[in-house]
Amino acid sequence: MQPCTEPYLRSLLACDIEVRRPRKGCFWNSSVRGDTQLLKGDLKSLKGPYWVANMVQTVMFSQAMESSIWHGGPWDVAIEVGPHPALKGPAEQTIKAVFGSAPAYTGVLRRSESDVEAISGALGFHWSHLGPSFVDFDGYLSTFYGPATRPPPRMLKDLPSYCWDHDKIYWRESRVSKQFRTGTDHYHELLGRRMLNDAEHELRWRNVLKCSELSWVRGHEVLGQILLPGAAYVSLALEAGKQLAAGRTIRLLEVQEVDIRRPVLIPDNKEGIETMFIARLMDSNNDTVLKAKFSFFSCSDSSTGSMVHTCNGRVLVHFGSSSVDGLPRREPVPPSLLNVDVDRVYSVFSGIGLNYQGIFRGLSNVQRSLDYATSIATWSQSDLDNDYVIHPALLDVVFQSLFVARSHPSTEQVTNTLLPVKIQRVLVNPKVSVVEAEGTVMVNLDSYVVDRTPTSLLGDMHVYNTLSGDAVVQIEGLLLKAIAEPTESQDRQIFSETVWQADASLNLIMPERDFTNDGVEMDLAAAIDRAALYYMQRLLEEFDPPERASLAWYHQRMCEAFENHLESVKKGAG
């Protein structure tokens, strides 16, 4: 097929295909790519190059089927649109390999059968499996008959009798099967999907994190490796808290005592890394607040490895009427702040191994003073997925602002790679939006350094709506620690030296006398004193008391000092 590619591409481009934006709620799992990333990328390839690849490349059928399961499943019925359900076998085999069982499968047409009968049979198949509300028989009949020629419905008297007793249950369904079949939980790209073997007091979510599906995570590179941001654990806890609320009105979301035990590396391969998030309810009978302990586990090798405890903490969901003033509003910005070049800030980050790119490079309008920094963070709304209470990239940029509060980039005081290890408390008001006009996400950031050492940094941060000043997020007790002990090459060079000499304050050192020039120096000093007295007296004579009263206060004090000195000279004390 290779010789046909160029003429085929020219023919497609000559057609001037108009690519429309896809409808929401429908996932296109491409068998050319094996995933859904085409919809998130540049759709211009559908004008021609995509179809050339479709002609010459290997069909990634099983990968596309697996992708459709994770992005659209589970399903009750699978429909193959084509002349015959020829892919039923491979499709069911792939689905069973992933889920263990396959849904009911049918096609709209069948080989060697009447098309009308085949489509009618497909509609009846759906009616029997999904119920009458899923099939529009009136719309189906209207495609064959006009309004005037449509025959009235009539009862068929020659149908076989059906003696089944629907009042008696003849089958048994397990709890896991029913939860899988009737579950309403949706897949979240970071949290994953609810596991079937959890319980009401202990909820579990499983996921497989892949760089190909979390494209934004590539922008968080630490020492050359893609690292799950520490802020992601806060985002995970917030998403779990939102699901624990089960539709109740949330006043505030709170995350406490976050302890990050070890970093999670996300490999840039097709296997990814398996994760599990567990939330254990502590007090489910309280109507005002719901408390839960959470733990996060990861496994880099799902075939032979075991789950490793990565992070733990607590999440609290406060119920009640929501309000934009649920958290304290922003205080006035201190005066006399120093502007900081953003490019220089990120240059310092790169120098210590924190290579931020993409949506992790959001700081702008940075200003600072001692142990304080304020800035603005801006993104396009399309860059931050709306399926988050607070996106991890937004929180990570908030963490970055603490480095600026610690020191100015020009001082080069930050020489160690610092990563989050503990967070005492995070408060989020979901009522306050971070989205400004024209689809822009913009927030004000205030950061305060509480404590610092050469290998650690402790601080608080606040996030505000740029227009209203309402608080969106408050972070208390963020602790950053160096991932390694400092080396000798990182020592700061001090431009001084130690000299051992006699202490001048003990009068052990007498200055050398120059008897030849001493008289000249004394005469010169006396002349200088007399000249100074002359100009003091002349200044006082030129200003009358009324004129002196109109001078600035410090000039008045100067004149008073001159008068006192002249008076002391007259008395012989000067």
Pick the catalytic residue: 220, 391, 408, 462?
220
Most confident of 46-60, 159-173, 368-382: 368-382
Task: Indicate whether 310 and 373 sit together in one domain.
Answer: yes
- DSSP, collapsed to helix, strand or coil, labels residue 139 as helix
**Structure confidence at residue 573 (pLDDT):** 63
Q: Which residue has the higher pLDDT, 306 or 297?
A: 297
- Rounded CA-CA distance 285/216 in Å is 39
Q: Are strands 418-428 and 250-260 parallel, antiparallel or unpaired?
A: antiparallel
pLDDT greater than 80 at residue 546: yes
Under the banding of pLDDT at 50, 70 and 90, the label for residue 522 is confident
pLDDT greater than 90 at residue 395: yes
Task: Indicate whether 458 and 519 sit together in one domain.
Answer: no
Bridge partners of 254?
Answer: 316, 427
Q: Could you tell me if 220 and 208 are in contact, meaning their C-beta atoms sit under 8 angstroms apart? A: no
**Structure confidence at residue 394 (pLDDT):** 95
Q: 102-106, 204-208, 478-482 — which is least confidently predicted?
A: 102-106
Task: Indicate whether 468 and 552 sit together in one domain.
Answer: no
- Rounded CA-CA distance 378/361 in Å is 9
Residue 193 lies in a domain: no
Tokens in use for 408? 């100015």
- Rounded CA-CA distance 282/524 in Å is 88
| Long-range residue pairs from 290-294, CB within 8 A, at least 24 positions apart, any chain | 290/241, 290/244, 290/245, 290/316, 290/317, 290/319, 291/315, 291/316, 292/240, 292/241, 292/244, 292/316, 294/236, 294/237, 294/240
Terminal Cα-to-Cα distance of the chain (whole angstroms): 109
Residue 308 lies in a domain: yes
**Structure confidence at residue 450 (pLDDT):** 95
Q: What range defines the domain where residue 124 resides?
A: 2-144
Query: Which among 175, 193, 176, 192 is positioned nearest to 184, based on CA atoms?
Result: 193
Mean pLDDT of the chain: 86
Which residues are within 8 A (CB) of 415 and not within 5 positions of it... i.e. 6 or more apart? 352, 486, 490
Q: Could you tell me if 406 and 457 are in contact, meaning their C-beta atoms sit under 8 angstroms apart? A: yes
The arithmetic mean of pLDDT across residues 525-543, rounded, is 89
**Structure confidence at residue 338 (pLDDT):** 93
Q: What is the DSSP letter of 563?
A: H
Taken as a whole, the chain contains a residue count of 574
Task: Indicate whether 342 and 409 sit together in one domain.
Answer: yes
- Rounded CA-CA distance 232/234 in Å is 5
Tokens in use for 139? 């719309």
Q: What percentage of the chain has pLDDT greater than the value 70? A: 95
Tokens in use for 303? 């075939």
- Rounded CA-CA distance 354/229 in Å is 11
- Rounded CA-CA distance 112/261 in Å is 63
Residue 35 lies in a domain: yes
| Cα separations in angstroms, 405 against 1, 215, 366, 424 | 61, 30, 10, 19
pLDDT greater than 60 at residue 128: yes
Query: What radius of gyration do the chain's Cα atoms show?
Result: 37
DSSP class per residue in 301-368: -TTT---EEEEEEEEEEEES---TTSSPPPPPPPSSPEEE-HHHHHHHHHHTTEEE-GGG--EEEEEE
Task: Indicate whether 480 and 534 sit together in one domain.
Answer: no
Under the banding of pLDDT at 50, 70 and 90, the label for residue 326 is confident
- Rounded CA-CA distance 486/488 in Å is 7
Task: Indicate whether 519 and 480 sit together in one domain.
Answer: no
**Structure confidence at residue 474 (pLDDT):** 96
**pTM for the full model?**
0.58
Task: Indicate whether 354 and 480 sit together in one domain.
Answer: yes
| Angle (nearest 5°) at CA 79 between 77 and 80 | 150
pLDDT greater than 80 at residue 510: no
Instruction: Tell me whether residue 391 is one of the annotated catalytic residues.
Output: no
Query: Which among 355, 353, 379, 388 is positioned nearest to 445, based on CA atoms?
Result: 379
The arithmetic mean of pLDDT across residues 295-322, rounded, is 89
Residue 171 lies in a domain: no
Under the banding of pLDDT at 50, 70 and 90, the label for residue 22 is confident
140-141-147-148 Cα dihedral, nearest 10 degrees: 170
Residue 459 lies in a domain: yes
Under the banding of pLDDT at 50, 70 and 90, the label for residue 313 is very high
Instruction: Tell me whether residue 387 is one of the annotated catalytic residues.
Output: no
Residue 212 carries which side chain, given as an amino acid letter?
Answer: S
Query: Within 10 A of 55 (CB to CB), how many other CB atoms are there?
Result: 13
pLDDT tens string 216-274? 999 999 999 999 999 999 999 999 999 888 888 999 999 999 999 999 999 988 888 99
Q: Which residue has the higher pLDDT, 516 or 191?
A: 191
Q: 162-171, 200-209, 389-398 — which is least confidently predicted?
A: 162-171
Task: Indicate whether 520 and 442 sit together in one domain.
Answer: no
Q: What CATH number should be reported for the domain holding residue 445?
A: 3.10.129.110
Q: Could you tell me if 231 and 399 are in contact, meaning their C-beta atoms sit under 8 angstroms apart? A: yes
- Rounded CA-CA distance 115/109 in Å is 6
- Rounded CA-CA distance 120/128 in Å is 12
**Structure confidence at residue 411 (pLDDT):** 84
Bridge partners of 317?
Answer: 253, 290
Residue 99 lies in a domain: yes
Bridge partners of 279?
Answer: 203, 294
287-288-293-296 Cα dihedral, nearest 10 degrees: 100
Q: Are strands 250-260 and 225-226 parallel, antiparallel or unpaired?
A: unpaired
Most confident of 28-32, 104-108, 393-397, 484-488: 393-397
Most confident of 82-96, 141-155, 215-229: 215-229
| Angle (nearest 5°) at CA 393 between 36 and 459 | 160
Under the banding of pLDDT at 50, 70 and 90, the label for residue 508 is low
Tokens in use for 63? 């990968």
Which residues are within 8 A (CB) of 130 and not within 5 positions of it... i.e. 6 or more apart? 76, 77
Residue 448 lies in a domain: yes
Domain C-terminal end among 144, 176, 207: 144
| Cα separations in angstroms, 30 against 53, 63, 83, 281, 516 | 11, 9, 20, 40, 101
| Angle (nearest 5°) at CA 386 between 380 and 387 | 150
Give the burial class of 209: count Cβ atoms within 10 A of its Cβ; 0-12 exposed, 13-18 middle, 19 or more buried: buried
Q: Could you tell me if 237 and 200 are in contact, meaning their C-beta atoms sit under 8 angstroms apart? A: no
Q: Could you tell me if 437 and 465 are in contact, meaning their C-beta atoms sit under 8 angstroms apart? A: no
Query: Which among 68, 1, 6 is positioned nearest to 31, based on CA atoms?
Result: 68
Under the banding of pLDDT at 50, 70 and 90, the label for residue 32 is confident
Task: Indicate whether 138 and 212 sit together in one domain.
Answer: no
Task: Indicate whether 18 and 85 sit together in one domain.
Answer: yes
The arithmetic mean of pLDDT across residues 13-38, rounded, is 79
The arithmetic mean of pLDDT across residues 304-328, rounded, is 90
Task: Indicate whether 210 and 350 sit together in one domain.
Answer: yes
pLDDT tens string 271-303? 889 999 999 998 767 888 999 999 999 998 767
Query: Which among 304, 337, 460 is positioned nearest to 408, based on CA atoms?
Result: 337
- Rounded CA-CA distance 98/497 in Å is 70
Give the burial class of 461: count Cβ atoms within 10 A of its Cβ; 0-12 exposed, 13-18 middle, 19 or more buried: buried
Task: Indicate whether 236 and 298 sit together in one domain.
Answer: yes
The arithmetic mean of pLDDT across residues 430-451, rounded, is 88
Task: Tell me how many domains the chain contains.
Answer: 3
Q: Are strands 77-80 and 104-107 parallel, antiparallel or unpaired?
A: parallel
Domain C-terminal end among 112, 144, 176: 144
Under the banding of pLDDT at 50, 70 and 90, the label for residue 511 is low
Q: 143-157, 264-278, 505-519 — which is least confidently predicted?
A: 505-519
Q: What CATH number should be reported for the domain holding residue 32?
A: 3.40.366.10
Residue 533 lies in a domain: yes
